[in-house]
Amino acid sequence: MSIASNIAKIKASIPAGVALVAVSKTKPVSMIEEAYASGQRVFGENRAQELAEKHQVLPQDIEWHMIGHMQSNKVKYIAEFVELIHSVDSLKLLKEINHRAAQHGRVIGCLLQFHIAQESTKFGFDLEEAQEMLNSTEFQSMNNIRIQGVMGMATFTDNENQVRSEFSTLFQFFNQLKQSHFSGNDHFKDVSMGMSGDYQIAIEEGSTMVRIGSTIFGSR
């Protein structure tokens, strides 16, 4: 199977309103070019320096998304061009994104990452922590970030019911935040959930954005 046909197959299997982020981490530029040639424009990476290096050599109309856990000191590598950071998991990180975005005269889209999995290795807020942050005066004074929704990763398991229930929880968090902090805010609309192994379930549970790597580019 070619990269182009893998993408075509996924596109045919997801609703038109669901965005496809092609996760190209660890994969060479040549593979991204192949995906680009088939029309894919949105790519996701999980390491800031790798993302910056690829951005530099690839077509400038690619929309780059950061999907992996970030140390604040890495924001500077991507602040000039990154379109969406899916993995905001602390006020400290958000403050740094705001600061670097301001330096470039930009507004950077952000998703709040929630910890919905059983594994402790995964990052993210719980609902209370996120609401506390959103209530803080520090958050309310940030003008160069835009919170566009939520992101989460389900537990890596064959138990479909568990995965479904974790995605359902994330969707409920999205709805609760929409009500409590983003009502009437048209930018707050994204629920980033679903990877190669579980994106069908994620879509059934309300995903608007799937992040798919190995089904497109092969295993890592």
**Virtual torsion, Cα 110, 193, 155, 44, nearest 10 deg:** -60
- From the CB of 11, what's the least distance to ligand PLP, in Å? 15
- From the CB of 76, what's the least distance to ligand PLP, in Å? 21
- From the CB of 192, what's the least distance to ligand PLP, in Å? 8
- Give the pair of three-digit tokens for residue 129: 């922590």
CB nearer to ligand PLP: give 109 or 213: 213
Distance CA 164, CA 173 (A): 14
CB nearer to ligand PLP: give 67 or 101: 67
Distance CA 44, CA 86 (A): 9
- From the CB of 135, what's the least distance to ligand PLP, in Å? 27
- Within a 10 A sphere around the Cβ of 194, how many other Cβ atoms? 29
Tell me the residue nearest to ligand PLP as measured from the CB.
213
CB nearer to ligand PLP: give 39 or 218: 218
CB nearer to ligand PLP: give 191 or 212: 212
Q: Determine whether 72 is exposed, middle or buried from the number of CB atoms within 10 Å of its CB (0-12, 13-18, 19+).
A: middle
- From the CB of 214, what's the least distance to ligand PLP, in Å? 3
CB nearer to ligand PLP: give 29 or 102: 29
Max alpha carbon distance in the chain (Å)?
51
- Give the pair of three-digit tokens for residue 171: 């969707």
User: Which residues in this chain contact ligand PLP in the complex, by CB under 6 A?
Assistant: 23, 25, 46, 67-68, 153, 195-197, 211-215
